[in-house]
Each structure stands twice: as structure tokens, then as C-alpha cells.
A and B are shown apart, each in its own frame.
Chain A
Amino acid sequence: MITREYRFPLNSSTVPAGEPVLTVSDVGLRFGGVQALDGVGLTVRQGQIHAVIGPNGAGKSSLLNCVSGLYRPQRGTIRLTRADGAVDLVGRRPHQIARLGLARSFQNIELFKHLTVLENLMLGRHHRMSHALLPALAWFGPARRQEIEHRALVEEVIDLLELQVVRHQPVGALSYGYAKRVELGRALCMQPAVLLLDEPMAGMNAEEKESLARYVLDVNELAGVSVVLIEHDMDVVMDISHTVTVLDFGRLIADGPPEQVRTDPAVINAYLGEAAR
């Protein structure tokens, strides 16, 4: 096995391992008549893979969208713990939340489709780069220098996720598996405090799922990044996560270590119910 020293810390959270880094309390979100989330709360601890599972329509994506600012919950708080104390994310705009260190992938691949893999990953660096106009027009000094500096970190992510062969390809032409990996990569390039992944393995066969699970484990174990992993499929999740939260119809029905959640009658019921549906 080839091991490699990583020069850049991909995790930017300074919270000690095992301490709460992201705390969701009593979040309620409704769309007209649909109560998508109803008093949901959970605590993501630093260094863990925290899975959120549940049947289709349970509110998993809605929860993630609340955290990243795309949806605004009518009720509840979402706190991110930072070196300088906790900040509430509710009411902030998506780009502000991203700059606080919340990086995410989307359920349906949402890449910048006319750009290359490299450009997509470099965009993960956007919030840490300078955007002054005159240096950019003149391609002088800081504008040029920072392209080279940030490229070095991007190349480490390319190594970690084994994206070398597609580096210069437009993402529109990538296979599904690669595209999912590039989205993971773009989020990682942000050097997140917490990484939010919305069904990164959806639509994959068993082999692809296993390999993607491997990358997520690498990100968590080698790079120390806390991960919130949404997954529809219970089996994969039980293998790799430290904590599992189960949602059903917008409500939290179980929360705890995988072995405990697996045998919870309410969970079995929800999934059996889905199988019967």
C-alpha cells in the first residue's frame, strides 16, 4: 500500500474530537400543507461519520438544505461550534454558511457542467481566494500566484480521490461514478469544518457503492473531516457510521450507535412499511 504525507489539513474545524461540532435543535420546516421536518434535533460530533437515514420523503434532504441555508426553517436552531464560540446558521445566506465551513454535495449531481474537473475543484477554493478585479484582468501578482498555491491543495484532493485521469475533462462528459466523486472533491477542496453528503451512493451498483464508501472513510479517517452522510440504503450506512439518526415523515424516530438503531422496533417498522408500500 502506498502511503503519502498530506501537506494540507482538509479539516478546518478546531473542535476536539468527540465534542459537538454541529447541533440541530427542534427544527421545523413546512411547505404549504407538508410538514417536511417536525422538531428534528441531532448532534454531530467532531471526527465522526453521522448518518441520517430514512425512507424516501422522510425529510433528509430538507434537513441538509436547512443546514446549508437553501431552506429556511420556521422553527429551531442550527449551531456550528467554532474556535470563537457557536454561531447559529439559521437566517444566514448559503454563501455565508459555506464560508463558515459547511461544504456539501447534492442528491442529484450539481456540478458546473461546462467546466473541467480541475476548474470545478478550484471553485471549491473560491471562498479562500482573492477576487480583486484589476489583478485578475492583468494576470499579475496575487491573481497568478494564488492560482498556483491553491492548485497544490487541489492536487492533493485529486490524489486522495484518484481523479488524476479525468483532471482536464469537462465534467459534463464524466461517468456517473466520477461525477459523484468530483462533487465530493469540490466539497473537500473547501477544507470544510463539516462535510454534508446527500446520498453520495444513490444510483450506484454494489461495487461502486463500496468504492465510494471507501473514499468517504478516507476523508474521515485520514483527513479527520466530520461527515454528515445521508443515505437511503441502511446497510452501507450501518457499516461505516459512528452515529445514525433515523427520520420518518419529518420526525426523528431513532438516534444512536448503528447496532442499537438497527434493532430499534420503530426503525424496523418504518423500513418494513416502506418495503410494503
Chain B
Amino acid sequence: MAATAAGVFHTSYASELRLRHTSAERLRLVLVVAGLLTLPWLVNPYWLGIVNTIGIAAIGAVGLNILVGFTGQISLGQGGFLAVGAFTSGLLVQRAGLPVPLAMAAAVLVTAAVGAFFGLPALRLKGLYLAIATIASQEIIIFVVRRWGWLTGGQGFLDVDRLTLFGWRVPRTSFEFVWYWIIAGLAVLAVVTARNLFRTALGRSFMAVRDHDIAASAIGVDLTRTKLMAFAVSSGYVGLAGALTAHYTQTVTWERFTIDVSIQYLAMIIVGGLGSVAGAVYGAAFIMLLPPLLAELADALRTRVPLLADQLPAVQAAAFGLVIVLFLLFEPRGLDRIWRRVKDYVRFWPFRY
């Protein structure tokens, strides 16, 4: 294999199938890994907490993008699936006394099964109609966790103990630090497995269904199986994000999983780039960073523009809406596309084309 200005040449199919081809790509990987390994020492616990929420959101966004961006099945049920993961894992630890890792693994499987079940309407419905059906599943799930007395005592609320791993209770002082390694590790795992998926036959069949379902069935893709599989796989990731939320925030309440959350996650993958694993991560970071950064900004301008600080929640909501509209208008393919253009510009510099 050789990399030249004109392109990259491969001498075997195996080398072509690798995710990283050039030394620049490998260097970038080294930098990302180095960044992830040093980050907890570079930021204070407040910002580390924000990084942790970004990590959890990234896992959920990767999951949602598998369904929406890669398989073309619009879903507004994200909040509901997060709730399933959170309540499953929380209940298994609090009520059944399961160790946290086991409970989270169970939450992944349970959410995958629930996702496949609520994916059934996708066998009949497409586009906006499917979106409406997934809103229904969102509402059904939230209704169940709020009202099913046996689950949450009819409160839709559950307290979860501070994390204990293999008998070791994580101390309050190093809480964010320990969680960082857990979340970062799982987020990396989510990204790597999702990228792997889309270079195999299974992942390609998801994209075939997205691009043209009739043609997909004519080449032998079983639409029923493939759509339900996409719902299950996607929901598995979302369930993991939900379970992490439960143990990280130590409270599970239905209010955290309303349709607003579903919309927020859709915003992440739109801003990041539909049908891109990296894009889901960029989008999660962007959407989760927006409120704290705006808060910082409002604080800095407090004396000169007091309105910004006084009306912070409204400003944050408006900025959220504005960002989505701007992306839809000017770069519907999201941050991932912008980043690719920057890379190409650098790679081909000083040539224009």
C-alpha cells in the first residue's frame, strides 16, 4: 500500500478494508487516544462531569444514528428506550441486588428486545407515519414507568446507590474521575463496534433498506428481519446509555426521558451528520456543550448584556433551535461533512481541486 498525493493504492483487499489507511489517519488516532488518556487531568471536575454526560449522549446518539441515519427509520422513541435501559439496570441493582456490570448488560438486552417490539410498526409504515408511531411507543413506555406501581411505586422515580464495582464503593472525591474511565471506555467500544458493523454485510443491508427498500428485497434482503434487527441493535446502544445515566446520576425519573429528549437526540445526529458514526459523537458533544458554553458566555457578559444572563434558559432554547435550522439549511450532512472538507483541504493543499 502506498499513499501519494493522487490517492492511496492498495495491494490487497484486506489492506483496503482497514479503517485507517494513511499515516495522517494513524497520527490522528494516536492524538485522539492520547487526548482521551490525559483529559481527566486537564479539566476540573465540573467540566469532567460535562465530558461524562457527553460520553453517555454519544453512545445514545450512535445508537439512534444506526436506526435513523443508517437504516432510514425515523424514530422519536429515543427517550422511551433510554428509560427502558435506565429503569431495567436501576431496578436490577436496587431490587434484585445484581452487580452493576451485569445489570447494565441485561439492560442492553432488554432494551434491544423492547426496541425490536416497538419496531414492528416499521414493517408497515415509513417516514412521517413511522415517526408518529414511534411517538406512540415513547408515550406508552413513559406511561408504563409512571403508572406501573410494582416498578417504581407509582412515582416514576427511583433512587440508585452510588456506584460499587466488585465490592469497591467509588469514593465521592474521585467520582467523576472513575466515571470518566467507565464512560470513555464504553463510548470507544460503541464507536468501534458501530464502525465495524457498517463495513460488513449486515450493516450494508441496513443502508440498502434506507436507500431503496424494494431494490433491497429484490437482492434478497429480508426487510422484516433487517428492520427489526436495526431497531434491536440501535436500542441496545440506547439501553446502554440509559443504564449509564441511571448509575451515573443516581436517580431515574421519567421526566428525564420525555419526548424532548428524543428531539434533542435527533438534533445531535442531524447536527453531527446522519449516517455517520463519528458524526453522532460530534453532534452529541456539540448539543451537550451548547448550554454550558452559553452559560459561560452569559456570565462573562453579565455586566454588559444582563439580558443574556437573566433569560439564560430561553437563550439556550433559542440557540438550540437556531443551530438546528442553520444546519438543516446550510450543511444538512452535518459536522462530519465539514470536518471531511477541512481534511481534504489540508490534504490537497496547495491544490484547489
Contacts and interface: CB of A to CB of B under 8 A. Distances in A.
Interface of A: 68-70, 93-95, 98-99, 103-104, 106, 110-115, 119, 122-127, 129-133, 135-139, 143-144, 146-148, 150-152, 186-187, 190
B298 interface: no
Which of B197, B208, B218, B275 is most buried by chain A, counting CB atoms within 10 A of its CB?
B218
B14 interface: yes
Given A111-B212, A112-B208, A151-B13, A129 B201 contact: yes
Interface in B129-167: none
A147 B215 contact: no
27 contacts: A69-B217, A70-B214, A70-B217, A93-B217, A95-B222, A95-B223, A98-B217, A98-B219, A99-B220, A103-B219, A110-B215, A112-B208, A112-B212, A114-B210, A119-B207, A123-B208, A123-B221, A126-B220, A127-B220, A133-B202, A139-B200, A143-B196, A143-B202, A147-B200, A186-B219, A190-B219, A190-B220
B204 interface: yes
A98 B214 CA distance: 12
Given A138-B196, A147-B199, A122 B215 contact: no
A166 B214 CA distance: 24
Nearest to A113: B211
Contacts of A138: 193, 196
Nearest to B274: A114
Contacts of B13: 147-148, 151-152
Given A112-B211, A123-B205, A123-B219, 9 more contacts: A94-B217, A95-B223, A98-B220, A106-B218, A127-B220, A130-B201, A131-B201, A131-B205, A190-B219
A94 B218 contact: yes
Which of B13, B203, B207, B215 is most buried by chain A, counting CB atoms within 10 A of its CB?
B215
A126 B218 contact: no
B285 interface: no
B17 A131 contact: no
Contacts of B216: 112, 123
A98 B204 CA distance: 17
Nearest to B198: A136
Contacts of A136: 196-197, 200-203
B241 interface: no
The 9 closest A-B pairs by CB, nearest first: A127-B220, A139-B196, A98-B220, A112-B211, A129-B201, A94-B217, A137-B193, A136-B200, A110-B215
Given A110-B214, A136-B202, A139-B199, A126 B208 contact: yes
A157 B154 CA distance: 62
A151 B211 CA distance: 22
A148 B203 contact: no
Contacts of A130: 201
Interface string B101-114: 00000000000000
A124 B217 CA distance: 11
A162 to B, nearest CB: 19
Interface string B221-238: 111000001000100000
B219 A124 contact: yes
Contacts of A190: 219-220
A119 B70 CA distance: 14
B275 to A, nearest CB: 7
Contacts of B200: 135-136, 139, 143-144, 147
Contacts of B221: 95, 123, 126-127
B204 A115 contact: yes
Given A70-B214, A139-B196, A126 B204 contact: yes
A266 B346 CA distance: 67
B193 A112 contact: no
Nearest to B197: A136
B339 to A, nearest CB: 18
A147 B211 contact: no
Which of A70, A125, A131, A186 is most buried by chain B, counting CB atoms within 10 A of its CB?
A131
Nearest to A186: B219
B211 A115 contact: yes
A265 B291 CA distance: 78
B205 to A, nearest CB: 6
Contacts of A125: 201
Nearest to A98: B220
Contacts of A126: 201, 204-205, 208, 219-221
Contact of B14 (A112, A124, A148): A148
Contact of B229 (A70, A93, A133, A148): A133
Contacts of B223: 95
Contacts of B201: 122, 125-126, 129-131, 136, 143, 146-147, 150
Given A106-B215, A138-B193, A131 B220 contact: no
Contacts of B214: 70, 94, 110
A127 to B, nearest CB: 3
Contacts of B229: 133
B217 A123 contact: no
B218 A133 contact: no
Contacts of B211: 111-115
Given A126-B221, A148-B13, A137 B204 contact: no
B18 to A, nearest CB: 10
A133 B66 CA distance: 14
B212 A131 contact: no
B321 to A, nearest CB: 28
B275 A114 contact: yes
Nearest to A151: B13
B72 to A, nearest CB: 10
